Amino acid sequence: MTTRRKWKKGRDVPAYMTVEAALLLPLILQGMALLICLSFFMYDQCTYEQDAYFACFKASITKEEGKAMEVLKKTADAAFSKGYLMAGTPSYSAGESGSMFTVKGSGKAGLWETDFTGQAERFDPPYGIRKYRRLGYLAGRVLDTIAPEKG
């Protein structure tokens, strides 16, 4: 015997919609909760990468010799000590090889673990501008000696 309810205007309607809703609604809610957790995890992962790169970049623009690693460690400590959405404070290591600064680390957010890396190369923009202007000046001198102006 099937369960039937009286619908408007006396029509009989089977109760299959109640059963479907009882099965589908929890699945939909769990899927939405999973998507929210995954988005928080991705946000924390991007923030780890950003903080690692920021620490390396700040060290790469340091002008004083020998202070770059100190700046790198201080900036990384300050960046990674702040709170994250789902993740705790990550473990990391900072290093310098030649003119490249690197921060590598790992963190755990809920059930998932993530690894991150940030790198930045030491550069000196005024040196590049001076070099470019000097090359332009020398090229102009060479062109002047090859084909002097007629005047």
Q: Dump pLDDT digits (tens) for 104-141.
A: 999 887 788 999 999 999 877 787 888 889 999 999 88
Do 120 and 111 form a contact (C-beta atoms < 8 A)?
A: no
- Measured between its terminal Cα atoms, the distance across the chain in Å is 112
Q: Where are the domains of the chain?
A: 13-146
Q: How many Å separate Cα 91 from the centre of its chain? A: 16
User: What would the two tokens of residue 11 be?
Assistant: 């029509």
Is residue 14 scored above 70 in pLDDT? no
pTM above 0.85, yes or no: no
In order of 5, 16, 17, the CA distances from 11 in angstroms are 8, 15, 16
User: Which two tokens mark 55?
Assistant: 């620490």
Strands (E) located in the chain: 4-6, 12-14, 91-97, 100-109, 112-121
Give the sign of the dihedral formed by CA 83, CA 84, CA 88, CA 89.
Answer: negative
Mean per-residue pLDDT of the chain: 85
Would the pLDDT of 49 be above 80?
yes
- Note the pLDDT tens digit of each residue in 24-44: 899 999 999 999 999 988 999
| Low-confidence winner among 28-32, 53-57, 129-133, 147-151 (lowest mean pLDDT) | 147-151
Confirm if 121 and 99 have CB atoms less than 8 A apart. Answer: yes
pLDDT surpasses 90 at 57: yes
